[in-house]
Amino acid sequence: MLSSRVQELMTKGYALSNKFRFRQWNEDEFEKWIDSCYDIIAACKPEPYFPCFPDYRHIEEIAMILMHTLRKISKGEIEYQGLF
């Protein structure tokens, strides 16, 4: 369940990145995506790095942080304390 949610957020992030490049930007959509990503990261102990003031330039970085975090959870290096 968590892996499918992370995959969904990564896909959404790359779609947002493309929308920005093609000038189809929607700030509300971006803010919702950031909040969802942060919710996953914040539920991890120890909490992985997350940009303090994320903007459109961080989209791909955040998608990679999610993937890296999921990998660490599966290896037992990070504990996910949220709901699956």
Please, what sign has the CA dihedral across residues 52, 55, 59, 61? negative
**How much is the pLDDT for 65?**
95
Domain range for residue 52? 2-80
- In 3D space, the residue among 38, 31, 30, 40 whose CA is nearest the CA of residue 5 turns out to be 40
pLDDT tens across 26-60, in order?
889 999 999 999 999 999 999 999 999 998 889 99
| Percent helix, percent strand, percent coil in the chain, to nearest 5 | 65, 5, 30
pLDDT at 84 over 70: no
- Cα separation of 5 and 20, whole Å? 22
**How much is the pLDDT for 82?**
82
The answer to whether the pTM exceeds 0.85 is yes
The structural domain count of the chain equals 1
The answer to whether the CB of 56 falls within 8 A of the CB of 13 is no
